[in-house]
Chain A
Amino acid sequence: MSTPVIYIVFPFVLSLLLYFLQKRTRLIIAIGITASILLMLFAFLQNFGAVWKIGPISIEIKTTLAIFGRSFTLGNQDKFFLAFVYFFAALWFGGTHIAQISSRFIPFGFAIIAVLTAALAVEPFLYSAILVEIAILVSIPLLLTPGNPPGRGVLRFIVYQSLAMPLILFGGWLLGGIQASPSDTARLLQAVLFLGIGFALWLAIFPFQSWIPQLTMDIHPFVSGFILGMFPIVTMLIMLDFISGLVWLRESQYLQPVLTLVGTIMVVSTGVWAAIEKDGRRLLGYAVLLESGLAILAVSLQSQISVMTLFVSFFPRMAALALMALSLSIFINNGTIPDMYHLSGMIRKFPFASSGLIVSLLSVVGFPLLGAFPVRLALLEQLAVLNPIIAVWVLLGLVTFLYSVLRLLMQISKPESEGWLRGETIGQIIFLVIGILVLISIGVFPNFFSGQISSLFLNLPILR
């Protein structure tokens, strides 16, 4: 038995089995949640590479699987990713029924996670590009509604993400050729340029970010939360592995200024766009872009603490995204378009969903005592030491985003009707309250939270 079999082959086979059980919704959800929790616990508790002894039988948990001469490796350094991904998969699969979306979300979700895990595990790095492209193509059925033409955002998502594959493959191939003669700086620059544009397309980095708000407008918020939660994080981890693996790149004098500039532009431009935005679904897209910009800034700092901050920030990021997606889903499922006009006074009709939406957006901004506050504070402190001007610009981006959230809060809490109603179901309320409490607890007890998951951070990528 090997970890790639457990985390790549098994979820993929399970996704195929669940696909044929689509009509049995409850069974699919139960299997989905149980399998995700078991896989998460296995990653959290089991030492990869250890031997299990059951009487006379001993089973070694190998970390490598070889296919056609290439290897898939999932060692102890990947435990963070695996535990994280399956924890949120369990949350998302659990919310399928609550958000009233098709049960095919679970088999496709498993297939996407399995292929993305394979992309992270494969050696050499070149193959990751093809596997991510396969994951993107597998996600297409989730983005479509029967009887409706695909929206422009969906088409752009496919085009932009697909364009990344040839660029990364070609850049990776050029880089492979250079290893024989590392002094060829011209070719080195070309390889980095191809790879840089490829990663920018994957991560929706400025100026390739326009499709994200369009996509969130076109598809169900619950699905967009899942897709925009998974893909940018996995591609970010692939990028970190890539930077960590090349000494000349991480020691390059250009890496830090380029990443800092791009990250700052992303944060500021996203803040400005969000400030004039009137639709909650598009705000979800801007929240993802803001998180990506801040993640790039964390990478640009190239220190062990900044990498740690980045990895810890994935938890409040996913929790806020899940809460935001669920809140928006509740509005949409009840026939309310989540824009400024229609959300007016909604706190009296959907008090929990309205609170969930506002709390999640405030958490993304880094509002005090909410989930992302400790990581935003840590990032700003480190940025201020490195370059105070950049820290001011980033703060400006966050403040403009906060303005947009406060505008939404004012609109949503208008006293348009008398008396209070409860538009959400009990199940939805439970999920929303848990989400809000999780974000508050991460914000109030950051050390307790990071202490619980510290065992997963033993082998982080080295950026300097």
Chain B
Amino acid sequence: MDHWINILPILILSAACIFIFITNDWRRILIAYLVIYISAFVIIAQYWSFTFSLVKLITGLMSLVVMGISINRYYTVHEKKVKSELVFRLIALCLIFILVAFMVYSISNYLSIALEIVLAALLLIGFGIFQLGITHEPYKIFLAILVLFFGFELIFSANESSLLVNGLLAVVTMLIALMGSYMIINEFETGDE
């Protein structure tokens, strides 16, 4: 790592990922996603231009706000997770994180991207894929896609600085949030097709 202090945002990011898995309260989940975006921003702002990093952060936060408004209107009931489910989720996530820790150094060298960025990106991608694999709730799926794409963008945008690509990726992020919130609203709407 270029700066050992970066271990701190990475630890916070990992903790936020674990927290998302153990809670079922949508408010706490959204706050944890917010923490993920801010932690990643702290890392990328050291390597990319501040404005470019800020664009990524603002796009992510805006998508969370769009999702949050819809979830706020419709989701109220929280189901409690059973202990065995929690244990399974934690063990699976830890295994993914261990796998990422083993791969990160070689991938960082291969792509010539800073270790901190690759580690954060792989943690998010691993978390996103696992979340997509185990959840059936639409809002969690859309949040997982958002975080998966954000993890991918951390790696991709480090090398591809084209304005059009990054602009289109921001459009995709916002569209995912919009469609996610549309799906939530649609579920609770009355009306005929």
**Residues on A facing B (Cβ under 8 Å):** 67-70, 101-102, 126-127, 130-131, 133-134, 137-138, 140-141, 144-150, 152, 155, 158-159, 162-163, 165-166, 169-170, 173, 220
Which of B1-9, B97-105, B141-149 is the interface stretch? B141-149
Partner of B159 from A68, A140, A165, A173 at Cβ < 8 Å? A173
- Pairwise interchain contact A166-B175, C-beta atoms closer than 8 A: no
- Pairwise interchain contact B156-A166, C-beta atoms closer than 8 A: yes
> A177: nearest residue on chain B (CB-CB)?
B159
Query: What are 26 residue pairs bridging A and B, where the CB atoms are less than 8 Å apart in the complex?
Result: A67-B164, A101-B193, A126-B165, A127-B165, A130-B165, A130-B168, A130-B169, A130-B172, A134-B172, A138-B175, A141-B179, A141-B182, A144-B182, A144-B186, A146-B191, A147-B186, A147-B187, A147-B188, A149-B138, A152-B136, A155-B138, A162-B145, A162-B176, A170-B152, A170-B155, A220-B193
- Pairwise interchain contact A137-B164, C-beta atoms closer than 8 A: no
Q: Which of B168, B188, B193 has the most CB of A within 10 A?
A: B193
Partner of A146 from B156, B163, B165, B186 at Cβ < 8 Å? B186
Residues of A within 8 A of B183 (CB): 140, 144, 150
Partner of A159 from B145, B169, B189, B191 at Cβ < 8 Å? B145
By DSSP majority rule, is chain B's interface helix, strand, loop, or mixed?
Answer: helix
Residues of A within 8 A of B152 (CB): 166, 169-170
Q: How far is the CB of A355 from chain B (nearest CB, A)?
A: 27
Complex Cα gap A155–B180 (Å): 11
- Pairwise interchain contact A147-B191, C-beta atoms closer than 8 A: yes
- Pairwise interchain contact A68-B164, C-beta atoms closer than 8 A: yes
Q: How far is the CB of B113 from chain A (nearest CB, A)?
A: 12
B115 on interface, CB distance cutoff 8 Å: no
Q: How far is the CB of B37 from chain A (nearest CB, A)?
A: 18
> B142: nearest residue on chain A (CB-CB)?
A158
Complex Cα gap A138–B188 (Å): 20
Q: How far is the CB of A214 from chain B (nearest CB, A)?
A: 13
Known: A146-B191, A148-B187. A166 touches B148 (CB 8 A): yes
Complex Cα gap A461–B160 (Å): 29
- Pairwise interchain contact B132-A159, C-beta atoms closer than 8 A: yes
> A223: nearest residue on chain B (CB-CB)?
B193
What 20 additional pairs, Cβ within 8 angstroms, besides A127-B164, A147-B190? Answer: A68-B164, A70-B164, A126-B165, A127-B165, A134-B168, A134-B171, A137-B175, A138-B175, A144-B182, A144-B186, A146-B189, A147-B188, A149-B138, A150-B138, A155-B141, A159-B132, A159-B145, A162-B145, A162-B176, A166-B149
- Pairwise interchain contact B163-A68, C-beta atoms closer than 8 A: yes
- Pairwise interchain contact B165-A140, C-beta atoms closer than 8 A: no
Complex Cα gap A170–B149 (Å): 12
- Pairwise interchain contact B182-A140, C-beta atoms closer than 8 A: yes
Q: Ordered nearest first, which 9 A-B pairs have the shortest CB separation?
A: A166-B152, A146-B191, A137-B175, A68-B164, A130-B168, A140-B179, A146-B189, A144-B186, A149-B187
Q: How far is the CB of A457 from chain B (nearest CB, A)?
A: 32
Residues of B within 8 A of A138 (CB): 175
B192 on interface, CB distance cutoff 8 Å: yes
Complex Cα gap A134–B168 (Å): 9
Residues of A within 8 A of B163 (CB): 68
- Pairwise interchain contact B145-A158, C-beta atoms closer than 8 A: yes
Q: How far is the CB of B177 from chain A (nearest CB, A)?
A: 10
- Pairwise interchain contact A145-B193, C-beta atoms closer than 8 A: yes
- Pairwise interchain contact B141-A158, C-beta atoms closer than 8 A: yes
- Pairwise interchain contact A146-B141, C-beta atoms closer than 8 A: no
- Pairwise interchain contact A165-B186, C-beta atoms closer than 8 A: no
Residues of B within 8 A of A149 (CB): 138, 187
| CB under 8 Å from chain A, chain B span 113-169 | 132, 136, 138, 141, 145, 148-149, 152, 155-156, 159-160, 163-165, 167-169
